[in-house]
Amino acid sequence: MPASDHRPASLIPGGAVFPHRHLTGIEGLEPHEIAFLLDEAENWIAANRERGVPDKRLAGLTQINAFFENSTRTLLSFEIAGKRLGADVVNMHAAQSSVKKGETLIDTAMTLNAMRADVIVIRHMSSGAVRLIADKVDCPVLNAGDGRHEHPTQALLDALTIRRRRGTIHNQRVVICGDVLHSRVARSNILALTALAAEVRVCAPSTLMPPAIERMGVTPFTDFDAALDGADVVMMLRLQTERMSGGYVPSSREYHLRYGLTLERLARAKPDALVMHPGPMNRGVEIDSNVADHAERSAITEQVEMGVAVRMACLDVLTRRARRVEGWA
Amino acid sequence: MSRALHFRDARIICPVAGERRGDLFVADGRIVDAADDAQVIDCRGALLAPAIVDLGVASIDHGAFRAGGIVRVGLMPDQRPVLDEPGIVQRSALIGRPNLWIHPIAAATRGLEGTDLAEMAICASAGARAVGTGRSWIADSGVMARVLAYARDLGLAVVVHSEDAGLVGDAVATEGETATRLGLSAAPALAEPIAIARDLMLAEAAGARLHLRQVTTAAGFDLVRAAKRRGVAVTCGITPAHLLLSDNAVSDFRTFTRLSPPLRAEEDRRAALAALADGTIDVLCSGHDPRGPEEKRLPFADASAGAAGAATLLPLALGLVRDDRVALPRLMAMLSRNPAAVLGIDTGSLQPGAEADLMLVDPDAPWQINADTLPGAAGNTPFDGLPVQGRVLRLFKGGRALA
DSSP annotation of B83 reads S
Does an H or E element contain B8, and which? strand B5-14
CA neighbor of B167 nearest in space, from B188, B146, B139 = B188
On whether the CB atoms of residues A54 and A67 are closer than 8 A, the answer is: no
Which residues in chain B have Cβ-Cβ distances shorter than 8 Å to A147? 183-184, 299, 301
Q: Flag whether pLDDT at A103 surpasses 80.
A: no
Asked if A131 reaches chain B (Cβ–Cβ under 8 Å), the answer is yes
Please tell me the predicted confidence (pLDDT) of residue A97.
Answer: 60
**Average pLDDT for B240-259:** 96
Please tell me the predicted confidence (pLDDT) of residue A13.
Answer: 67
On whether the CB atoms of residues A243 and A180 are closer than 8 A, the answer is: no
B183–A132 C-beta distance less than 8 A: no
Q: Flag whether pLDDT at A5 surpasses 60.
A: no
**Amino acid present at A9:** A
What is the distance between the alpha carbons of residues B165 and B143, in angstroms, rounded to a whole number?
15
Please tell me the predicted confidence (pLDDT) of residue A11.
Answer: 59
- Dihedral through CA B149, CA B288, CA B60, CA B170, nearest 10? 70
CA neighbor of B289 nearest in space, from B273, B303, B300 = B303
- Rounded to the nearest angstrom, the minimum Cα separation between B266 and chain A is 14
**Average pLDDT for B147-153:** 98
B175–A147 C-beta distance less than 8 A: no
A212–B180 C-beta distance less than 8 A: yes
Which residues in chain A have Cβ-Cβ distances shorter than 8 Å to B186? 211
A24, A26, A149: best mutation site toward chain B, by most B Cβ within 10 Å?
A: A149
Does an H or E element contain B122, and which? helix B120-125
Question: What are A56-77's pLDDT values in tens digits?
Answer: 999 999 999 999 988 899 999 9
Sorting pLDDT into bands at 50, 70 and 90, what band is A4? very low
Phi first, then psi: what are they for A145, rounded to 5°?
120, 115
B300–A211 C-beta distance less than 8 A: no
Which member of B180, B297, B298 has the closest CB to residue A211?
A: B180
Tell me, which fold does domain A152-299 have in CATH?
Rossmann fold (3.40.50)
Domain ranges, ordered by start, for chain A: 19-150+306-323, 152-299
Question: What are A115-135's pLDDT values in tens digits?
Answer: 999 999 999 999 999 999 999
Sorting pLDDT into bands at 50, 70 and 90, what band is A10? low
What's the pTM?
A: 0.92
ipTM of the shown complex? 0.89
Question: What are A197-251's pLDDT values in tens digits?
Answer: 999 999 999 999 999 999 999 999 999 999 999 999 999 999 888 777 778 999 9
Which residues in chain B have Cβ-Cβ distances shorter than 8 Å to A215? 177, 180
Which residues in chain B have Cβ-Cβ distances shorter than 8 Å to A212? 175-177, 180
**Average pLDDT for B187-206:** 98
What is the distance between the alpha carbons of residues B324 and B312, in angstroms, rounded to a whole number?
19
- Rounded to the nearest angstrom, the minimum Cα separation between A145 and chain B is 11
Q: Which CATH number fits domain A19-150+306-323: 3.40.50.150, 3.10.150.10, 3.40.50.1370, 3.90.1300.10?
A: 3.40.50.1370
Annotated binding-site members of A? 73-74, 101, 123, 151, 154, 184, 238, 279-280
Does an H or E element contain B158, and which? strand B158-160
Residues 6+ positions from A32 with CB-CB distance below 8 Å: A3, A4, A6, A7, A9, A12, A17
A124, A132, A146, A150: best mutation site toward chain B, by most B Cβ within 10 Å?
A: A132
What is the distance between the alpha carbons of residues B270 and A36, in angstroms, rounded to a whole number?
43
Which residues in chain B have Cβ-Cβ distances shorter than 8 Å to A248? none
Q: Flag whether pLDDT at A38 surpasses 70.
A: yes
What are residue B360's DSSP bridge partners?
A: B48, B394
Asked if A110 reaches chain B (Cβ–Cβ under 8 Å), the answer is no
Annotated binding-site members of A for carbamoyl phosphate? 73-74, 123, 151, 154, 279-280
On whether the CB atoms of residues B388 and B312 are closer than 8 A, the answer is: yes
Question: What are B156-177's pLDDT values in tens digits?
Answer: 999 999 999 999 999 999 999 9
Which residue blocks in A4-151 are alpha helix, DSSP H? 31-50, 73-84, 105-114, 129-134
**Average pLDDT for B182-201:** 98
Please tell me the predicted confidence (pLDDT) of residue A70.
Answer: 85
Sorting pLDDT into bands at 50, 70 and 90, what band is A1? very low
Please tell me the predicted confidence (pLDDT) of residue A105.
Answer: 85
Tell me, which fold does domain B52-349+366-385 have in CATH?
TIM Barrel (3.20.20)
Which residues in chain A have Cβ-Cβ distances shorter than 8 Å to B296? none
What is the distance between the alpha carbons of residues B176 and B114, in angstroms, rounded to a whole number?
30
DSSP assignment string, A191-215: HHHHHTT-EEEEE--GGGS-TTGGG
Domain ranges, ordered by start, for chain B: 52-349+366-385
B181–A211 C-beta distance less than 8 A: no
Sorting pLDDT into bands at 50, 70 and 90, what band is B39? very high
Which residues in chain A have Cβ-Cβ distances shorter than 8 Å to B176? 211-212
Please tell me the predicted confidence (pLDDT) of residue A54.
Answer: 86
Please tell me the predicted confidence (pLDDT) of residue A95.
Answer: 60
